[in-house]
Amino acid sequence: MDRIILHSDCNCFYASVEMLHHPELEGLPLAVGGDPEARHGIVLTANYIAKRKGVKTGMALWQARAACPDLIFVPPRMDLYLRFSRMAREIYLEYTDQVENFGCDEAWLSVEKSRSIKGDGMTIAKEISDRIKTELGITVSIGVSWNKIFAKLGSDYRKPDAITLISRENYRSLVWPLPASDLLYVGRSTGRKLSSVGIRTIGELANADPSYLHSLLGKMGYVLHGFANGLDDSPVTTDGYHAPIKSIGNSTTTPRDLTCDTDVKIILMALSESVAARLRKNGFCAGVVEISIRDNGLFSFTRQVKLKRPTNITDEIMKAAYGLFQSHYFWEHPIRSLGVRGSNLTLDHMPVQLSLFTDEELRERQEKLDRMTDEIRRRFGYFAIQRAFMKQDERLSGLDAGTHTVHPVGYFHG
């Protein structure tokens, strides 16, 4: 018996939530993101009125304004969006415990066990769509298929507020004419490689020689060939399941462009605290610290350093991150985005070789202080305790870095 996989995608999610809270903007072009007062930033999402005028996600604010002079910008409110994401998930969980988030506005659901009570995939999708619209006031597009890849293609196929069935009978006519770039995991680089050899549609990818694709793309060649032919059998994870963690990181587009070392230290400290707290929560230490930097010219790069000793102490991660920054960035442009990541993870109770030149009592005090900070923030909120030097810039220190990004072991690992 075939699986029934749904992929639910909230339409223009951030903008849709903002429109609920700004009814006076009904019928006007709206975008979320950036900083209208400082006149910089990027578009996180836009409503369909703005999109029809040429506004696209990732555009710089000035580019969006050039495309749509009457565009209205509102600042992002992640706490509000995450609340709506949780409410949508609560609806999904009434149909199945197999709900796998793909960002805060998308999720896969495996609902074949519910068919005897709730009906077939299209019936369940229609009921979920109606409930999201009625109970949350936003719309979703839902794809229905027997695998996750085609279900995601279905949710992208028609927008907004649409349901698309991609079945074993119709996928060749529905999916194969689509651009190869529409397939999950076909990024810009892979798309360019495929286009350079005349593979421009999913159908052409499906009918290509797998060995040739392997020579062109490595292991991904076999994987994408299988996806194009509907051979994805990856499961939808059960609610509460956490994939094995490969690395832990956090990044942010800064509230304003960073123009000096002090600005960078404030943001790196917020991110380092976030990463270290998550390491401690999951019982890990990081052996490698990596930073990512993007300037306001949209040039970006990453650098990493192997630590002498794995750690989950905030100050040690911060020291490594800031050292990388000082060694590799020379202020040709202001900075728009920073990230910190810990990888090469080991369990925090694993024995390590001690150094005669390390003050172990100091490290123990630092770790106790970090864990006490974790507990205070858990009970009273992120801003209940902050380092004094963060207050040098209230705007930058107002960044809540308590939202972590966890990088699980990849789908194609091994």
Cα distance between residue 231 and residue 244, in whole Å? 24
Q: What pLDDT is attached to residue 349?
A: 66
Cα distance between residue 59 and residue 74, in whole Å? 15
Q: Let me know if residue 22 belongs to a domain.
A: yes
Are 271 and 377 contained in the same domain? yes
Are 227 and 317 contained in the same domain? no
Domain with 388 in it? 245-408
Measured over the CA atoms of residue 41, residue 43, residue 49 and residue 52, the dihedral's sign is positive
Are 128 and 58 contained in the same domain? yes
Cα distance between residue 261 and residue 338, in whole Å? 13
Q: Let me know if residue 266 belongs to a domain.
A: yes
Which of residues 188, 217, 239 is at a domain's end? 239
Q: What pLDDT is attached to residue 168?
A: 96
Q: What pLDDT is attached to residue 38?
A: 47
Q: Let me know if residue 413 belongs to a domain.
A: no
Are 189 and 134 contained in the same domain? no
Are 67 and 149 contained in the same domain? yes
Are 221 and 154 contained in the same domain? no
Q: What pLDDT is attached to residue 353?
A: 63
Cα distance between residue 193 and residue 127, in whole Å? 41
Q: What pLDDT is attached to residue 143?
A: 97
Are 335 and 385 contained in the same domain? yes
Q: What pLDDT is attached to residue 411?
A: 41
Are 107 and 43 contained in the same domain? yes
Are 207 and 260 contained in the same domain? no
Question: What six digits make up the tokens of 177?
Answer: 């004419």
Q: What pLDDT is attached to residue 5?
A: 97
Which of residues 201, 224, 239 is at a domain's end? 239
Are 185 and 65 contained in the same domain? no
Active site includes 106? Answer: yes
Catalytic residue among 106, 273, 290, 316: 106
Q: Would you list the DSSP string of 271-315?
A: HHHHHHHHHHHHTEEEEEEEEEEEETT--EEEEEEEEEEEE--HH
Q: What pLDDT is attached to residue 373?
A: 92
Are 153 and 195 contained in the same domain? no
Total domains, the chain: 3
Q: Let me know if residue 170 belongs to a domain.
A: no
Which of residues 239, 274, 289 is at a domain's end? 239
pLDDT in tens, 212-226: 999 999 888 999 999
Q: Tell me, what CATH number does 195's domain have?
A: 1.10.150.20
Q: Let me know if residue 311 belongs to a domain.
A: yes
Element (DSSP H or E) covering residue 245: strand 245-258
Q: What pLDDT is attached to residue 254?
A: 86
Q: What pLDDT is attached to residue 414?
A: 40
The segments of the chain whose pLDDT lies below 50 read 38-39, 403-414
Are 143 and 220 contained in the same domain? no
Q: Let me know if residue 98 belongs to a domain.
A: yes
Q: Tell me, what CATH number does 62's domain have?
A: 3.30.70.270
Q: What pLDDT is attached to residue 240?
A: 66
Q: Tell me, what CATH number does 353's domain have?
A: 3.30.1490.100
Specify the pTM.
Answer: 0.65
